[in-house]
Structure 1
Amino acid sequence: MIEQHLTLDDMPLFTKLRMTAFGEAVIEIANDPACDTWSFSQKIRHALEKEAQARGERRMLKLLKASRAPNPAACVEDVHSLDGRTLNRDVVARLAACRWVEQTTNLLILGSSSVGKSYLAQALVNAACRRDYTAAYYRLDDLANQLAVYQHQDPARLKFLEHLHSCDVLILDDFLTTPITSETGVCPVNGVWGPAVFMS
């Protein structure tokens, strides 16, 4: 029997099975002489790792999009400590590890205007999504406006609140710089929320 190597012509089948990254890795291995010395198990493990990595990246991008963060590309690696800031790399690294999420600990980020509070909060959103946590990012007045649209027992309002309750992390920007209504005041502190990040 003549051996037939896998080629790009075989990719549609992998794509149909939703294993695109796995297929790309298998075809690469089949056509790379450097991989000829690999055992069958090594080849399969390598392809599985590529597929798992690709799915993890897609999952993270989906979580970032769902978070509504204005700058989903913000990341803790780009947070710099400048003169006049009390934030340092060690603090950022600890926050990026997301232990505060696991421990249901709220964060309060204070600072004068334009020092990077919102960027830091969005970088923490990114860090949380990397660790497979869900997040919701709102400016307080936007949240108030969203809640004001609904009647108290409106099913859409209840669904919206259920969505917020289901998030692992709630981020509220412009907290205390925007008037707090009875709705927005109760939302993050009603005892059934996960950890919240407040910026003021």
Structure 2
Amino acid sequence: MTLSAEDMDLFKDLRMAEFGRVIQEIIDDPDRDHDSFEDKVKEALYAQRNARDSRRIERLMREACLQQSVAALERFDVTTDRGITTDRINRLATGEWIIHGQDISITGATGTGKSFLAQALGVNACRMQFHTRYFRMSDLGDDFDMLRENTMKRKKFMASLMKASLVIIDDFLATTVSQHALEQVFNLLVARERSSTVIASQHQPDYWYSVFADAAIADAVLSRLSTNGVLFRLKGEDMRTRPEVEAGTQVVNTTIPRHL
């Protein structure tokens, strides 16, 4: 028995092309003749689900601006005294902290892996099908500046960031941004009280107070990040010398079951 072109077109129309492909493979394999009907259908269904989830993950990675990232939690270097343990990496990989809206701040000198860890958290979130957004602060500041005179678009942009399960701001306060952009970034942080935010910065939190003219805003943000979050102070050798990072090898978007 062979599925016809019309049969395959029907699977495509039903958005079940992978199901049809696997069924045809099973039909063509004489070693599968004695497999139960249930096992054959189950295998095709799982293949269809995995294909669907892979497409979703790819879309989420694009939306997060992480599709070119080589970062992954399983690649983070904990062999040296990095300031974070394997057990902690494994707990972060579960995504529970996102489900509970916990914040994470990452500090450390250049090369200690701040951006790598921040991006790895974002990639892992996309794998688990959390809606994620990743920005370097200078880019986020530019986005807010471009929308300064367009209140409606700025509110729409802000609303999209507030709805994301995870927002990552890398190179936090590493470069100067306009006062308007600074205010918008901190309005965003205040608004994300029940959603997870990752901050990666060369500067320790105490420095953040000195950047803001409005002490009340700084207190509100820093209080929430400290009471609802965890701070990782990274240290150790330069991670950028690792072979796979130098080579720019991209992580395969492994399909992982969705979060509940």
Aligned CA distance change for structure 1 residues 185 and 134 (closer, same or farther; 3 Å): same
Q: Deviations over 1:100-130 (max 9, x none)?
A: 1011110011111012211111111111112
Question: In 2, are the aligned partners of 1:73 and 1:126 still within 8 Å (CA)?
Answer: no
Q: Deviations over 1:38-86 (max 9, x none)?
A: 2222211111011001111111111111101264342111112143411
Alignment of 1:5-24 (within 5 A): 5-6=2-3, 10-24=7-21
User: What is the identity, as a one-letter code, of the residue corresponding to 2:121?
Assistant: L
State the match for 1:162 in structure 2: 159
| In 1: Cα distance, 2:133 partner to 2:19 partner | 32
Aligned CA distance change for structure 1 residues 27 and 70 (closer, same or farther; 3 Å): closer
Aligned CA distance change for structure 1 residues 72 and 23 (closer, same or farther; 3 Å): farther
| In 1: Cα distance, 2:139 partner to 2:194 partner | 19
State the match for 1:182 in structure 2: 183
1:93 aligns to 2:86 (yes or no): no
Query: RMSD across aligned C-alpha pairs, in angstroms?
Result: 2.0
Deviation at 1:152, TM superposition (A): 5.8
Query: Please, which runs of 5 or more residues in structure 2 have no aligned partner?
Result: 202-260
Moved more, 77-86 or 45-54: 77-86
State the match for 1:102 in structure 2: 99
User: What is the identity, as a one-letter code, of the residue corresponding to 1:47?
Assistant: A
Match of 1:30 among 9, 24, 27: 27
Question: In 1, are the aligned partners of 2:58 and 2:67 still within 8 Å (CA)?
Answer: no
State the match for 1:199 in structure 2: 200
User: What is the identity, as a one-letter code, of the residue corresponding to 1:115?
Assistant: T
State the match for 2:234 in structure 1: none
Question: In 2, are the aligned partners of 1:134 and 1:168 still within 8 Å (CA)?
Answer: yes
Alignment of 1:76-155 (within 5 A): 76-151=73-148, 154-155=151-152
Question: In 2, are the aligned partners of 1:64 and 1:72 still within 8 Å (CA)?
Answer: no
Deviation at 1:18, TM superposition (A): 1.7
User: What is the identity, as a one-letter code, of the residue corresponding to 1:29?
Assistant: I
Identity %: 32
Alignment of 1:70-81 (within 5 A): 71-81=68-78
3-state SS of 2:158 partner: helix
* TM-score, with structure 2 as normaliser: 0.70
Question: In 2, are the aligned partners of 1:165 and 1:193 still within 8 Å (CA)?
Answer: no
Aligned CA distance change for structure 1 residues 158 and 75 (closer, same or farther; 3 Å): same
Moved more, 125-134 or 179-188: 179-188
State the match for 1:61 in structure 2: 58
| In 1: Cα distance, 2:69 partner to 2:4 partner | 36
Question: In 1, are the aligned partners of 2:72 and 2:121 still within 8 Å (CA)?
Answer: yes
Aligned CA distance change for structure 1 residues 112 and 58 (closer, same or farther; 3 Å): same
1:51 aligns to 2:79 (yes or no): no
* TM-score, with structure 1 as normaliser: 0.89
